[in-house]
């Protein structure tokens, strides 16, 4: 099982799409291991987006992410990182396939509703930035046996 970070960005929160976005992840079978509503500090965002610091869009990205609250999620499941990234769709809504979050709900090249970790290393780093000790919970979903073939997939 992997745990990954997902952020519902300010545009998703302000458009009232939190339930739709979180619901898609839950319906897929991903487990919510942590969730909170937060206003992110400039310092946290600069650490989170440090790889983009030299890029022209960095300052605008940080300002956008501070423009409103975000929903911070820790999602857990088999191959969670790959599954979440596939569900999100391509970065820009205009390019994202129908059926994906961005393909169905976004059209902008600036506002793309969600962020998801892109690797196990990034997920570990990002989860550590956004969640403190004890905020990501470990528990068994009551419907796990109907989501996974426990004998074959969870060895």
pLDDT in tens, the chain (155 residues): 999 999 999 999 999 999 999 999 999 999 999 999 999 999 999 999 998 899 988 999 999 999 999 999 999 999 999 999 999 999 999 999 999 999 999 998 889 999 999 999 999 999 999 999 999 999 999 989 889 987 778 66
Angle of CA points 144, 20, 123, to nearest 5°: 60
**Ranges assigned E (strand) in 29-122:** 31-38, 70-77, 114-116
CA distance 58 to 51: 9
Q: Is 52 a catalytic residue?
A: no
Neighbouring C-beta atoms of residue 134, cutoff 10 Å: 7
This prediction's pTM: 0.93
Q: What are phi and psi of 72, to 5 degrees?
A: -105, 125
At residue 152, the pLDDT reads 78
Fold of 2-138: Alpha-Beta Plaits (3.30.70)
Q: What is the pLDDT of residue 149?
A: 87
pLDDT given for residue 155 in this prediction: 66
Q: What share of the chain is helix, strand, coil (3-state, %, to 5)?
A: 45, 15, 40
User: Per-domain residue ranges for the chain?
Assistant: 2-138
Looking at 48, 76, 85, 115, which residue is catalytic?
A: 115
| Kind plus residue range of the DSSP H or E element containing 8 | strand 2-8
What's the sign of the alpha-carbon dihedral 53, 114, 116, 65? positive
CA–CA separation, 92 and 120 (whole Å): 23
The whole-number pLDDT of residue 75 equals 98
């Amino acid at each position: 099982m992997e745990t990954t970070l997902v952020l519902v960005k300010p545009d998703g929160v302000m458009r009232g799409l939190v339930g739709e976005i979180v619901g898609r992840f839950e319906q897929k079978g991903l487990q919510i291991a942590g969730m909170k509503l937060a206003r992110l500090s400039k310092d946290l965002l600069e650490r989170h987006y440090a790889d983009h610091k030299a890029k022209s869009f960095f300052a605008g990205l940080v300002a956008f992410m501070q423009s409103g609250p975000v929903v911070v999620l820790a999602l857990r499941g088999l191959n969670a990182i790959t599954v979440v990234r596939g569900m999100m769709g391509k970065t820009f809504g205009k390019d994202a396939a129908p059926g994906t979050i961005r393909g169905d709900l976004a059209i902008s090249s600036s506002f793309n509703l969600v962020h998801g970790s892109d690797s196990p290393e990034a997920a570990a780093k990002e989860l550590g930035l956004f969640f403190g000790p004890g905020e990501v919970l470990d528990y068994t979903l009551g419907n796990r046996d109907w989501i996974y073939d426990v004998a074959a997939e969870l060895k």
